[in-house]
Structure 1
């Protein structure tokens, strides 16, 4: 590591990802930084979302907020940022509208639009992310590992072509599918360009201090199995291979990598062979069946239905017990099946984390 950081006091998640013995399964939550925490809303105020992403000091503060609030109950921090900073670095305008989500004012709709996509200067254009990572790693003082992340190429293509929002146009993903079925050659061109940026982005995150990485393919389940194998899997596999080899060339130790391919239930076997140390599961997977399908050499992460947080405490206890006992202690990272939601009660989240720790210690 080119920078000097404090010795890590809690390496539970790194050990779990590598298949090493742990005293209990580690736990963290996707989107744990921001959203539902009142301290996040106070810090954010009226500022634009991407404005606070670009401020390393604020991004660092938000990253650490859940670690402080739930001290002793969360085993990893994840840097506060967004998957759409990658398209921004490639020349695509992205805005974040309150109550709506990300908006791409001038989406990519036909091959001629690729002229607006340029090769990113990753070190310069995403420098604020790397600064936030280094600052956060220093502030954490070895308390827990720091995770970095990126959106996957297919998911970023969806946002760049659909124009934003929480789903494709009319939830049919018309424009993203047009790239696949009408312009497949150019779709591969865009996916390849995006993959190159992601690889460099992730390598520089590790160089800045990230100790584990996750790829978010949030729209993986919109692909049929054949299209998954053509338009997603080769690029995800390439990212894992190239990031690890790139780190080695820089004299840095490769870090564990996780892939989250939401709703792609049919692809577990392929994902298990794609070079990632861990596979994050959404809540539609049965834990025991997932383990049987991926084998014993891959760590599983997940997969509580985020909606359980709206249930009674008795329900949360029951669901946590069922989930954790089904996955077991080894090669398992406790998480939600997707991200936290803005309407969560922070006290309920705290109860969930306490129950995870209680049940995990009994394994």
Structure 2
């Protein structure tokens, strides 16, 4: 990928805990159903999978929020379940429902036959999208590539669909730990290969979404989630391209594990809204940058409250390096885009005020 000159690199500098003129901001699911232009493109694509697997459509929706808002990073439009789909589990999205797999993993034979997908075969469309987005960005802001964590992917692969407690995969972990570890190792090697391929295609930062890590108690979390995220980080650091990119881990509901997460060698930690970000900063010190952590529901309040709560998060973090503003989870479809503009503008304005103190 030919190098381009970034005109706005404050997101990358914040992850490196370097000084910035203000706090950078991007929003999880910033390309999504709350935007009418996204809904229009999805309509043209015919389905969510039609949107996600078409590099031109994926590029189009990735760039849409950057037209509306003064965001400091773009994130690849894709889905966390592309890897298990490429493994042959048969991913689909029914209208108004979440993801489902036609062939979930329900026995040892189905788990043992899994192999790391071909990044230039079944997942080439993702890399083509990364290359196209990077070209179209033309140095405007950095591009984030991402994957689901091994544990989170395993949750869906075993359950076959979304769940409140993912009891099947937890039962597998308790009853057949060797088989669960075999599954997680295969998925971790796949996640590492996937993120490395995104780095080679042009991603400038990498993020791992551990959406369901918080379902685990402290000891199981370390054995079945943390261990495999650390394995992925180690693999990224061993590759000549991805080793130079910042890596963000976001484990929702796992604020009790911040110190252990920081010890993986990652560059930054995503923080959900169940912990004060100032407390999180005090706990991890200068080991990692922090990303977060406004409650997404705040964006359904009035513009005045959105601005007030954004300032409160910034004040709580204080005038310290290493803060990337974000929500504590993804933006929801009901949000008014005007409130997102209020959020982005407030973060930049108040971030400058904090740095002048």
**Range of TM-score over shorter length:** over 0.9
Q: For 1:233, which of 216, 226, 235 is the aligned residue?
A: 226
Residues 1:342 and 2:333 are matched in the alignment? yes
Specify which of 88, 97, 101 is matched with residue 100 of structure 1: 97
Instruction: Give the secondary structure class of the aligned counterpart of 2:64.
Output: helix
1:42 paired residue number: 40
TM-score (normalizing by structure 1)? 0.94
Alignment correspondent of 1:130: 127
Shift of 1:253: 5.6
Map of 2:181 onto structure 1: 188
CA distance in 2, matches of 1:94, 1:283: 30
Does residue 354 of the first structure (1) align with residue 345 of the second (2)? Answer: yes
Q: Secondary structure at the match of 2:89?
A: coil
* Alignment-derived partner of residue 285 in structure 1: 275
Give the aligned partner of residue 12 of structure 1: 10
Alignment-derived partner of residue 198 in structure 2? 205
Deviation at 1:229, TM superposition (A): 1.0
Question: What residue ranges of structure 2 are gaps of 5+ in the alignment?
Answer: none
Shift of 1:115: 4.5
CA distance in 1 between partners of 2:314 and 2:74 (Å): 21
Structure-2-length-normalised TM-score: 0.96
Aligned to 2:287: 297
- Give the root-mean-square deviation of aligned CA atoms: 1.3
Residue 355 of structure 1: SS of its match in structure 2? helix
Contact 1:59 1:80 in 2 (8 A): yes
Alignment length, in residue pairs?
352
Cα offset, 1:84, TM superposition: 0.2
> Aligned pair in 2 of structure 1 residues 153, 138: CA closer, same or farther (>3 Å)?
same
1:146 alignment partner in structure 2: 143
Contact residue 53 and residue 81 of structure 1 kept, 8 A? yes
Aligned partners of 2:300 and 2:334 also within 8 Å: no
Q: Which ranges of 4 or more aligned residues in structure 1 deviate by more than 2 Å?
A: 115-119
Q: What residue is the counterpart of 2:53 in the other structure?
A: 54
| Inter-partner Cα distance in structure 2 for 1:183 and 1:121 | 28
**SS at 1:91 equivalent:** helix
Q: Which residue of 1 aligns with 2:158?
A: 161
Offset, 1:79: 0.6
Q: Once the 2 structures are TM-superposed, how far is the Cα of residue 341 of structure 1 from its aligned partner?
A: 0.7
Task: Check whether the contact 2:117–2:123 (CA below 8 A) recurs between aligned residues.
Answer: no
Give the Cα–Cα distance (whole angstroms) in 2 for the partners of residues 98 and 348 of structure 1: 27
Find 1:216's aligned residue among 209, 212, 229.
Answer: 209
**Any conservation in 1 of the 2:38–2:64 contact (CA below 8 Å)?**
yes
Structure 2: distance between partners of 1:322 and 1:355: 11
Contact 1:92–1:117 at 8 Å: present in 2 too? no
Q: Give the superposition deviation at 1:34.
A: 2.1
| Cα distance in 1 for residues equivalent to 2:166 and 2:248 | 26
Deviations 1:142-177 (A, max 9, x none): 000000000000000111111112xx2xx2321011
